[in-house]
Amino acid sequence: QVNLVESGGGLVQPGGSLRLSCTSSGSIFGHSTMGWYRQAPGKERELVASIAVNGDTRYADSVKGRFNISRDKARRRSFLQMDSLKPEDTAIYYCNSRFQGRDFWGQGTRVTVSS
């Protein structure tokens, strides 16, 4: 079992920044692809960014150039640095860990971008 705990969400003005953190309790962190997903009201959950064990990253087109995903193996954490935030980035953001085809999810952290 893997427990994921997100932190760092909140209210920010358009153009501002936030940094989300995800802490994993499991020993498989070093073997898992870590990802961040988001779900806005009335919409399906979507992939925002992911980072593989070898460091390869993927980003949704809507966040390329604004968001950056990273991971810290020693502290079993992944991070999502979000810059130049827009109102359409408002959503609940979920941390994801994928290991051997199994998905684990955090409880989510709310991000609201509004003036």
Per-position pLDDT tens, the chain of length 115 = 789 999 999 999 999 999 999 999 978 888 899 999 999 999 999 999 999 999 999 999 999 999 999 999 988 999 999 999 999 999 999 999 999 999 999 999 999 999 9
Which H or E element spans position 78? Answer: strand 77-82
Beta bridge partners of 99: 102
Which pLDDT does position 37 carry in this prediction?
A: 98
Report which DSSP code applies to 52. Answer: -
Which H or E element spans position 107? Answer: none
Gap between the Cα atoms of 36 and 29, Å rounded? 15
